[in-house]
Structure 1
Amino acid sequence: MNSLWLVIGSIVIFSIAYVTYGAWLAKQWGVDPARKTPAHTKGDGVDYVPAKAPVLLGHHFASIAGAGPIVGPIQAAIFGWVPVMLWIVIGGIFFGGVQDFSSLFASVRHDGKSIGEIIEANMGRRGKKLFAVFAWLTLLLVVAAFTNIVANTFVSVPEAASASVLFIILAIVFGFAVYRRGVPLGVGSIIGVALLFACIILGNIYPLVLSKNTWIALLMVYIFLASVTPVWILLQPRDYLNSFLLYAMIIGAIIGLVVYRPTVELAAFTGFTVNGQYLFPLLFVTVACGAISGFHALVGSGTSAKQIDNEADARIIGYGGMLIECVLAVVAIITAAYLTKDKLGELLKAGGPVNVFSDGIGVFMAQFGIPYTAGKSFVALAVSAFALTSLDTATRLARFIFQEFFENPAKETQSILTNRYVSTIITVLLGGWLAVGGYAKIWPIFGSANQLLAALALIAVAVWLKNTGRNYSMFTIPMTFMFIVTMSALILLTKANIAAKNPVLVVFPILLLILAVILAFEAFRILGSKNPAKPKVKA
């Protein structure tokens, strides 16, 4: 089969879904372009800062993309390319897109607060506390996993390290120019993107070589600063500029596929059990961000909802952003599917899924004149940039959730734990401690916890929609399926860690299981009730 049809067909399907299903969801939920958003009603110049749709889409997309939609589909390719493709398309349209769009919109209607606050307003304070603990523990795993990914990339590709440092400096200058000096976004974007690629060139000329432990320490300092500074200084501009790297990478890959048109060599389906791993539930956990991700719900209800300028933008940012990520996931599975089984094994052994992806895109772009080595280095740099974006966004989200957990609206004086510097330090130190444990050990728990978080986010928004008299039928199958999938995966993971005698990695899944079961039980009780509770926040 010609792999070009896979990418073209998926883009057509995603486009139709955005125009039809995305519009239907917006109508069902009552998206109102005339209603003021929290970015305007609660603007503080630090976290609540209105951003134009292209800028916010850049931040949101760069934050949710990370390495997940690349690593996940390639790892799941052991079951064959057909199951992976089907889950990316079906999951992205009816599961991930619905979760991302609804989480963002629900947060906008709750003053830009996190999913935990939405749970409190519709399920009670105990539910909020339980979810906050669950989400914060999951974000610690995100910080640990992505710290390892970025540090390993910087060690193996020192050119990416120096370019990333230059990106940060460029972002700060861009932020000041656009937000404080009135430089038009279009002009600033053209200059910024040109300088962005200049950073890549300089990075290749002056690679920054440091040890992994040194990079971990420096990353801890960086994410602390990124978490506490106003979003317009670093978060918005860096993510916006970085998104152009991702767009360029996807466009370059698609053009290369149009020219190259490689044949799919990987088996379409290899079986329900491969090397002792079961297609159910592992396929749906492993593909992760390529189809649905709980981390997306935290981004949408954590940083994006505080910056959205108009409710109408929620559709392109939430639903559209997820579908663009699905296209990236499709490209990722093609970089594995066009290879023979032996060649895929060699690349995986040499550098893991990112190496497979970088090699494939390098080959595709070489078809229209981009040198293979330059193309592969560019892709490696882009992946590290997105992982770094996800890392600092995760830290900021963990800070929000930590603060919300200890906030008491009834008291005039709040606990020191609500201070953004204190909450960030605690998060960074614990995340760094887990990071030392290694990416390979942390990733399996992150995948399962992340998908269970998606199930809980879907349940939380469904409860809010029911309480406000809106249609929530589109959540019934996704939330039930994801809950069953992730509970099954966590049970298998716990069993494996008990056999391997990994006490820390046993405690984490068990704790997450307990928290999730309690929350799900309460939510399903409310959804099954004939008398919906009256929400504390205006619908």
Structure 2
Amino acid sequence: MYTFIISIILLVAGYFTYGKYIEKMFGVKEERATPAYVNQDGVDYLPMSSNKNSLIQLLNIAGVGPIFGPIMGALYGPVAFIWIVLGCIFAGAVHDYLTGMISIRNRGAHLPELAGKFLGKVMKHVVNAFAILLLILVGTVFVTSPASLLHNLMNGKVSLLIITLFIFGYYILATLLPIDKIIGRFYPIFGALLLVASLGVGGMLIIQQVPIPELTLANLHPDQMPIFPLLFLTITCGALSGFHATQTPIISRTTQTEKQGRKIFYGMMIAEGIIAMVWAAAAMSLFQGANGLNELLATGGTGLVVSEVAKVTLGAVVGTLAVLGVIVLPITSGDTAFRSARMIIADYIKLPQFSMKKRLLIAVPLFVISIALTQIDFNILWRYFSWANQATAAIALFVGAMYLFIARKNYWVALIPGAFILYTTTVYILNAEIGFRQSLNVSYVAGAVISVVLVILFFKAAQKSRAAELSLEVDISDYRNIAS
């Protein structure tokens, strides 16, 4: 219990200390007009309040990641708490803040455009394809997982196909309509449901004095459970997730002032870390250890674990409401995944999104592909998602490091976590069944060589960009519409 409570305190403290440092180091400009005003189009670019943006951001980035990932990560024991806390404060929240703020400085640009500007033109094309692949995988995974949860919640009384089609129908509307029509209107309600559910579970763990395992030297490295690299790809959204780099530009286009960035981008990642802590702790403590959790996962997957945790801690009625809060998570990330994919493709091919016809031109093929992917086993999709997710995080952190290097600011805050997750992902791909199937020892060495080479190339490119005085920001001369 002490490890759990201290971890929550550290996450909150991280927002007020390291988060404040990152904000000060980056250097916000309150007087600078944001894309919400300069590029206002009534569809994707329009100003919304910081509270509304914060809840939308939280739901955008959350998905099933901070719940399903930590439940699987709970199999490693309390060492998972370390990754959630350190990863969230020093990697995930920094990743989200830099991505959001650099996007604001560049007219709400998405990751492919930022990668092209700061890492080279070739990277723009690579990241564009990579981001779209990731978003389609996310959108598909976040159709199948909530559909399955709803199917179980209704005891199979409504067919899985009908539920899936209903969710797809909602996604289509959320992807095509102006952001304030559905997302801006309903997300605050969904966000409240999510927060109440997670705080309810966490509160009951403490009130009921559930014996949450403590971190000790003995369980720091679980038997026959190699922590590296699997733990860091199992728990992603609760600590560090590249998917967030595809979502923050949605909100960078609706943020009123740069000063709101720490609350919206850094703060909501901390909130996600707290959610991850709650579900990891519950999974570790309510099923008689890893063996009991494994048996439950084998019986009904992570969806059954979610249902059992909610019912045990909150009772049948309130527990059902908590499960609904969990179902909201993937749905409210799936819709913005498709929306983000539409925006990225539109930016790439320079197709304005004022008219519905042009939005349909991009959205229809995306949904056709996603529907086809729903026929693939969920576990296979999740493996590819995990790898693509953390590879995207590495790219986003290197973009942030390049920006800070050119600006002559502390680029190590992004480069260190970026290099770490680059190495982690490289080792995983070299070793994994879906990768090159090398031994762990070979993967460790080869991964280190590849990572070092890429970091050296980064420094060479950074020195060249600094010498060329690459512009960090898009010039904005119209300050007349700054929010009062």
Determine the C-alpha separation between the residues in 1 that align with 2:101 and 2:452: 25
- Secondary structure at the counterpart of residue 106 of structure 2: coil
What does residue 327 of structure 2 align with? Answer: 384
CA offset digits 1:70-129 (Å, max 9, x no partner): 111121222222x20000010000000100111111110011110112122333432211
Match of 2:153 among 157, 161, 166: 157
Q: Is the CA contact 2:149–2:303 (under 8 Å) kept in the aligned structure 1?
A: no
User: Structure 2: which 5+ runs fail to align?
Assistant: 439-450, 476-484
Within-5 A mapping of 1:368-517: 372-407=315-350, 419-495=358-434
Corresponding residue for residue 444 of structure 2: none
* Partner secondary structure for residue 432 of structure 1: helix
The offset of 1:382, in angstroms, is 0.9
Q: CA deviation at 1:157?
A: 1.5
Distance 2:311 2:436 in 1: 37
Residue 109 (structure 1) aligns with: 105
Moved more, 356-365 or 108-117: 356-365
Runs of 5+ in structure 1 lacking a partner?
A: 160-207, 366-371, 500-515
Within the candidate set 233, 243, 258, 2:206 is matched to 258
Cα offset, 1:274, TM superposition: 6.0
Alpha carbons 2:77, 2:222 under 8 Å: kept: no
Change (3 A) 1:375 1:496: farther
CA distance in 1, matches of 2:52, 2:235: 27
Which residue of the partner structure matches residue 41 of structure 1? 38
Deviates more, 1:345-354 or 1:327-336: 345-354
User: Tell me, what secondary structure is at the counterpart of 1:290?
Assistant: coil
Q: Does 1:69 pair with 2:70?
A: no
Taking structure 1 as reference, are residues 438 and 358 closer, same or farther at Cα in structure 2, changes over 3 Å only?
Answer: same
TM-score by length of 1: 0.79
Q: Check whether the contact 2:93–2:266 (CA below 8 A) recurs between aligned residues.
A: yes
Q: 1:234 to 1:537 in 2, by over 3 A?
A: same
Is 1:53 aligned to residue 50 of structure 2? Answer: yes
Shift of 1:386: 1.1
User: How far 1:60 sits from its partner (Å)?
Assistant: 0.6
> Matched residue pairs, number?
458
* 8 A Cα contact 1:122 1:535, kept in partner: no
Residue 134 (str. 1) matches residue 130 (str. 2): yes
- Which stretch has the larger CA shift, 16-25 or 123-132? 123-132
With structure 2 as the length reference, what TM-score do the two structures score? 0.87
Q: Identify if the C-alpha distance between structure 1 residues 518 and 377 changes in structure 2 by more than 3 Å, giving closer, same or farther.
A: farther
Q: 1:137 to 1:424 in 2, by over 3 A?
A: same
Aligned to 2:301: 352
> How far did residue 407 of structure 1 move?
2.1
1:217-228 → structure 2 map (5 Å cutoff): 217-228=165-176
Say if 1:335 and 1:357, in contact at 8 Å, map to a contact too: no
Q: 1:315 aligns with which of 256, 262, 266?
A: 262
Partner of 2:447: none
Name the SS of the counterpart of 2:296 in structure 1: helix
Compared with structure 1, are the counterparts of its residues 521 and 137 closer, same or farther at alpha carbon in structure 2 (3 Å cutoff)?
Answer: farther
Write the letter of the residue equivalent to 1:531.
A
Whole-angstrom CA distance in 2 between matches of 1:146 and 1:495: 21
CA drift of 1:227 comes to 0.5
Query: What is the match of residue 186 of structure 2?
Result: 238
3-state DSSP of counterpart to 2:28? coil
Q: Please tell me whether the aligned partners of residues 111 and 396 of structure 2 are also in contact (alpha carbons under 8 angstroms).
A: yes
Are the structure 2 counterparts of residues 495 and 308 from structure 1 closer, same or farther at C-alpha, using a change threshold of 3 Å? closer
The whole-number CA distance in structure 1 between the counterparts of 2:405 and 2:275 is: 34
In 2, Cα distance between equivalents of 1:229 and 1:388: 16
CA distance in 1, matches of 2:169, 2:460: 44
User: CA contact under 8 A between 2:4 and 2:81: conserved in structure 1?
Assistant: no
For 2:61, the aligned partner's letter is I
Question: 2: distance between equivalents of 1:273 and 1:531?
Answer: 48
Aligned to 2:478: none
Q: C-alpha displacement at 1:524, in angstroms? A: 4.7
- 1:308 Cα deviation after fit: 0.7
In structure 2, how many angstroms separate the alpha carbons of the residues matched to 1:68 and 1:282? 15
Structure 1 residue 439, shift from structure 2 partner: 1.1
Tell me the distance in 1 between the aligned counterparts of 2:434 and 2:200: 43
Whole-angstrom distance in 1 between the partners of 2:469 and 2:367:
38
Cα distance in 2 for partners of 1:56, 1:311 equals 13
Residue 119 of structure 1 corresponds to which residue in structure 2?
115
The change in CA–CA distance for 1:437 and 1:7 in structure 2 (over 3 A counts) is same
> Offset at 1:226?
1.2
Give the deviation of 1:536 after TM superposition: 6.5
Tell me the distance in 1 between the aligned counterparts of 2:203 and 2:437.
Answer: 47
How far apart are 1:375 and its partner, in Å?
2.7
Q: CA 1:524–1:156 in 2, change beyond 3 Å: closer, same or farther?
A: farther
**What is the CA–CA distance in structure 1 between the aligned matches of 2:385 and 2:70, rounded to whole Å?**
15
Q: Which moved more, 1:39-48 or 1:6-15?
A: 6-15
Q: Deviations over 1:445-490 (max 9, x none)?
A: 1011101110100011211222233331211210000001011112
Distance 1:274 1:395 in 2: 40
Distance 1:533 1:494 in 2: 44
Shift of 1:537: 3.3
Q: 1:535 aligns with which of 467, 471, 476?
A: 471
The amino acid across from 2:202 in the alignment is I
Task: Name which of structure 1's ranges 441-450 and 468-477 shifts more when overlaid on structure 2.
Answer: 468-477
The percent of aligned pairs where both chains have the same amino acid is 29
Answer whether contact 1:294 1:457 (CA < 8 A) is retained: yes
Structure 1 residue 497 displacement after superposition: 8.7
Deviation of the 1:270 alpha carbon: 5.7
Tell me how far apart the structure 2 counterparts of residues 145 and 518 of structure 1 sit (CA, whole Å): 34
Q: CA contact under 8 A between 1:155 and 1:211: conserved in structure 2?
A: yes
Residue 279 (structure 1) aligns with:
227
Q: Which of 291, 297, 300 is the aligned partner of 2:239? A: 291
Rounded to whole Å, the distance in 2 between the matches of 1:517 and 1:398 is: 32
Q: How far 1:273 moved relative to its partner?
A: 7.4
* One-letter identity of the residue aligned with 1:379: A
* Contact preservation (8 Å) 1:95, 1:292: yes
Rounded Cα–Cα distance in structure 1 between residues aligned with 2:197 and 2:254: 26
In the superposition, relative to structure 1, how do residues 518 and 155 fare at CA in structure 2: closer, same or farther (>3 Å)? farther
